[in-house]
A and B are shown apart, each in its own frame.
Chain A
Amino acid sequence: MPAGADTVEIRDSDRPGVAVVVPKGDIDMSCSPQLRDALRRVQDKRPERIVVDLASVRYMDSSGLATLVEAMKNAKQHQTRLVLCAMNDKVLAIFEIARLHQYFVISDSLDQAYEA
């Protein structure tokens, strides 16, 4: 993986039943499949809560939105709480354009996402 490349990390939280997915960089058509794979791996473990920490995401297009919508539908199917957090204004804007900001649970910070 070249330096500065877009990546997705999966972190175990110190809180039981919580998994944290941390995408970094630009979530566009070239890297949204990585995010989809990471979310599926986490969802296969059936955690109680999945937090997607978007603090390090600079940009997202509709392929990223589609990936998160799919994850949200899967989460609802398995009674998993899916929370997005720490997105910057530019990323939040695309949720608003697509009117998806009301569909997701969105928290300002990672700490708040544990409780949302």
Chain B
Amino acid sequence: MSEPAHITVHLHGDPKYLAGVREMVASVARRLGFDELSCSQLALAVDEALCNVIRHGYQGQDERPIWIRIWPEPLESLKSDAPPGIRVVIEDEAAQVDPAAMQGRELDDVRPGGLGVHIIREVMDEAIYEKRSGGVGMSLTLIKRGNVTPTVGAQGPTQGPKGNASCGNDPA
């Protein structure tokens, strides 16, 4: 995307920062017009993506860098009555893997671990893994689109196809 990110965060891959990132992402999504359910889902997806980088990409090396960049999606949604949307790109410097291999595992096999990618794909409208240019690092693009804001007097927000879960922090 040629438009510079509206928000850029550079953090160490340390699990203690996960809560802060969740709160930031949910707060930004809320201000872009997402309902509370979608804010929670977005925070969960970003949390799971960061966990995967920390655990599998960096194997717990907690000073390795992760970058998070955020845009409204599409950009015009900021200036119109269109439903809100958000694009979050998460990049790292971990060893590259085949993006096609980034699939959720079979859920019938109940065992610890391996659920992160499944959760991400379940709650986001798009989740696109790519190799970064330069031969080092992976990029994950997450896109979530919101629902039409109800008019005054209408019933509460309707749930979209991904609106069946809520897992983030409550607003302050």
Partner-B contacts on A (CB < 8 A): 26, 28-30, 58-63, 65-67, 69-70, 73, 89-91, 93-94, 96-100, 103
Contacts and interface: CB of A to CB of B under 8 A. Distances in A.
Per DSSP, chain A at the interface is helix
A94 B40 CA distance: 11
Taking each of A60, A63, A103, which has the highest tally of chain B beta carbons within 10 Å of its own beta carbon? A63
Interface in B76-103: none
A67 B112 contact: yes
Interface residues of B, number: 30
Contacts of B107: 98-99
A60 B15 CA distance: 14
B18 interface: yes
A66 to B, nearest CB: 4
Interface of B: 15-16, 18-19, 22, 40, 44, 47-48, 51, 54-55, 107, 110-113, 115-116, 118-119, 122-123, 164-170
Contacts of A70: 112
A90 B44 CA distance: 11
A93 B167 contact: yes
B170 A58 contact: yes
B11 to A, nearest CB: 13
Contact of A90 (B19, B55, B112, B166): B166
A98 B116 CA distance: 9
A70 B19 CA distance: 23
Contact of A66 (B47, B54, B113, B164): B113
Contacts of A73: 111-112
B147 to A, nearest CB: 18
A65 B123 CA distance: 17
Given A70-B112, A97-B119, A30 B15 contact: yes
A102 B22 CA distance: 28
Contacts of B40: 90
Nearest to B120: A62
Nearest to B16: A30
Contacts of B167: 59-61, 90-91, 93-94, 97
A69 to B, nearest CB: 5
9 contacts: A26-B169, A59-B169, A62-B115, A90-B40, A93-B164, A93-B167, A94-B167, A98-B119, A103-B110
Contacts of B168: 59, 90
B115 A89 contact: no
Given A61-B44, A94-B44, A69 B51 contact: no
